[in-house]
Amino acid sequence: MAPHRLSSLVLLCFVCMPLLGVVAPAGAAPPPRPLCDACGDSFESTAEAHGVSVSVTHSNATLSVHGNGSATWVVHNHLAESESATRLRTNETLRTAIAQRAMWDTELVDANVSTSGVVTLRYREADFAAQSVGGAVRTGEFTEAYGYRNLDGLGADRLVVTAPDGMRVGWAIDGATVSDDGRRMTLTGLDNGSIVTFVPHDTSLGPLLSLVAAGSLLGPVMAVKALAYMTLPTAVFTLAIGAAAGGVGWLNWDLRQHRDSVGSVVAGIGTVATVLSLLSVAGVFRFGATAAALFGGGSALLCCGIALSRQQVRERVTYRTLLGGAAIGASIAIGATIAAASLFGANGSTLPLLASGVVLGPLFTLLPVGYAVGNGRRGLAIKTAAVGFVVSILLVLPVLPAPFGLGVLFVPIAAAYAVATAVAGMPIFLAGVSLGVPTAAH
């Protein structure tokens, strides 16, 4: 055995850990577009593209949702008096061309300009919403995840959404005003969209129907996300761990002599990670929002290392105790990450939660995985790695971005993420192996 080779491998693996912060799913987004793209500034841009310069002083719109899922838009753009406004009023062909281009994915019904300079546009959108169980209707058009991928605000200064006949608003947008009879929802902005539902006006099961309606929209998307984020990364991760297990056997390292130093190594890695995260707060390093995950993971590793430094603990270690310890360690890491998000300037960001779930969860799993390898149970090790990886992804699946826009790029990104996670976890894996190798007394 060559101890310096093991030390070099551990150092190399630890250096790779910061790389995980940048291995995240991301893709090219379509151009930003407001919900009402025939309103306000967006209408001005469309008119400009047709050689007409107009100034919209105020814009409001009404969106009437129908029971069959279609919707009718009525947009009122108030124009500053100008020759261009007069030109639009007198030139029907030009007015129609601009109106047709102004609103995407809709059918133009009518367009006119009043003598007071108000452009009124009427559109029909066939698939704005969908029917659900119990007569409920739901729509994801107010969100980026289930509507337009790069939704950029409301577009209008004021939007009134009217429920279908005989129905009322079930789930509304945060910050919106709902009328006393529940028929109308008024928005003056759209910062954080959500699924909107409509339920029969006289039902007493409104919350339940809204939940089922939203679930019918979320379910298929969640299934696709689960398939994308789990299948390939899990396969690559388990293959990498299998290769590491084979490498340990082929190199025939005698890791028993490192058993007593396992706690110090794990605690040392945790200490370094924690210190680096704190230095990020001081501005010495720039880890961004991932510094919170680095702090959470470092704190949990430090706790695990302190526990493993005690001889009584090491002597009683089994696969099951390490499995439970890994679950506790991962929970501490995720909890500390979320709690420290505000300290690291990431309050309200999903990135710390994503990093803690998709990176820290699998890393802690490698402790019992390594133990199983050291104990000669390679099959159990592979199963543990796969299950631990899947569970970690499941915990953060709802906040993971949909991978649809990545196309074929998702394959190398997902594979790189899985390999980087396995490489970064090698010190923990080797620590587990050293704990699992039978001692002379056994």
Tokens, residue 37: 């793209």
Where is mean pLDDT largest: 149-153, 258-262, 293-297, 322-326? 322-326
Model confidence band, residue 36 (pLDDT cutoffs 50, 70, 90): very high
Compute the distance between CA of residue 115 and CA of residue 426 in angstroms, rounded to an integer.
Answer: 74
Query: Domain residue spans in the chain?
Result: 3-29+218-436, 40-140+154-190
Mean pLDDT confidence for 330-346: 74
**Do 150 and 29 contact (CB within 8 A), yes or no?**
yes
Beta pairing partners, 110: 122
Model confidence band, residue 223 (pLDDT cutoffs 50, 70, 90): confident
In the prediction, which pLDDT does 33 show?
87
Tell me: pLDDT of 349 over 60: no
In the prediction, which pLDDT does 60 show?
96
Report CA-CA distances (Å) from 65 to 62, 128, 163, 258, 403. 10, 8, 6, 68, 29
**Do 167 and 139 contact (CB within 8 A), yes or no?**
no
Average pLDDT along the chain: 81
In the prediction, which pLDDT does 164 show?
95
Which tens digit of pLDDT belongs to each residue from 164-198? 999 999 989 888 999 999 999 999 998 877 889 99
Tell me: pLDDT of 416 over 90: no
**Lowest mean pLDDT across 209-218, 264-273, 345-354:** 345-354
Residue linked to tokens 């959500």: 194
Tell me: pLDDT of 442 over 70: no
**Lowest mean pLDDT across 9-18, 33-42, 49-58, 354-363:** 9-18
Write down the pTM of the prediction.
0.55
Mean pLDDT confidence for 120-125: 96
Tokens, residue 7: 């030390």
**Lowest mean pLDDT across 9-13, 145-149, 160-164, 267-271:** 9-13
Higher pLDDT, 28 or 175: 175
Model confidence band, residue 3 (pLDDT cutoffs 50, 70, 90): very low
Which tens digit of pLDDT belongs to each residue from 61-103? 999 999 999 999 999 999 987 788 889 999 999 999 999 999 9
Compute the distance between CA of residue 94 and CA of residue 55 in angstroms, rounded to an integer.
Answer: 17
**Lowest mean pLDDT across 166-175, 261-270, 318-327, 346-355:** 346-355
The DSSP output letter for 23 is -
Q: What whole-number percentage of the chain has pLDDT above 70?
A: 79
Tell me: pLDDT of 337 over 50: yes
Which tens digit of pLDDT belongs to each residue from 229-249? 778 888 889 999 999 888 887
Task: Name the nearest CA neighbour of 111 among 46, 201, 199.
Answer: 46
Compute the distance between CA of residue 116 and CA of residue 95 in angstroms, rounded to an integer.
Answer: 16
**SS3 of residue 382 by DSSP:** helix
**Lowest mean pLDDT across 132-136, 142-146, 423-427:** 142-146
Q: What whole-number percentage of the chain has pLDDT above 90?
A: 31
In the prediction, which pLDDT does 397 show?
67
